Amino acid sequence: MQKEFLDQLIDRNIVKHQIDSYNRFVEERVQAILNEVGEIKPELPDGEELVIKIVDVDIKRPKINEADGSVREITPKEARMRDLTYSSEIKVTMTPIFEGVQQESEEVTIGEIPVMVGSDLCWSSDWDEEEKREHGEDPKDSGGYFVINGSEKTLICMEEMVNNKPIYQEDDGEQTCRIRSAVSTRSAPGMYSGMCCDGTRASSTSRSPTSRRLRL
């Protein structure tokens, strides 16, 4: 019975939703966040005008810069063994416009992002079971976690109100409908409103249905 249960866990890949969510974030949301910023206008001491437009973002697979200056691929196993963070650089293409004159675009590194093991950014996503063994990985490991300073960090769930969906509930004979409104184009707190079936406003302190989100 125990073996059948474990086989089901492996076959169904219970962390697929986490990997899919991470892939969407890297492939779509990071670019959307930078598009929201759009451009940067730093204040120069002499009053000259400088606008830096954010054009594109590029996130490659994990690599490591060694002490001798060489750059090479790093695997999850090596990150664990060397107490390193399995991460990728975030490179952004920026176009400066100085005093109304567009300058040559340049790619700069603005930071790093931890790479989820098993995601599209992870080297192991291209390996079959035999290649995973050769690289010191468990061939049955579904991934869905990060390697931070050599330690494996997973995701936990927390509850949050569903956005932009009417939520109907009945409590002690009182029927209410509530909506938590939020926009998808920018980060902003949601607006909460509710209405009872008799037309009166529902109390905002009553318990509301929730959805799941992930927190590291």
Rounded Cα distance, 58 and 192, in Å: 37
What residues are paired with 195 via a beta bridge?
177, 201
The full set of domain ranges for the chain reads 2-154, 159-215
Six-digit token string for 180: 């938590």
CATH code for residues 2-154: 3.90.1100.10
Rounded Cα distance, 25 and 107, in Å: 21
**Ordered DSSP codes for 98-120:** ETTEE---EEEEEEEEEPPTTST
Six-digit token string for 4: 């059948």
pLDDT, position 145: 93
Q: What is the mean pLDDT of each run of 10 residues along the chain (216 residues)?
A: 66 80 93 88 86 92 91 94 95 91 91 94 92 90 92 80 78 78 61 55 45 40
Six-digit token string for 89: 């650089």
Place of tokens 């125990």: 2
pLDDT, position 192: 54
Under 8 Å between Cβ of 167 and 137: no
What residues are paired with 40 via a beta bridge?
52
Question: Which is it for the CA torsion 118, 123, 128, 131, positive or negative?
Answer: negative
pLDDT, position 10: 61
Structure letter (DSSP) for residue 186: S
Give the pTM: 0.68
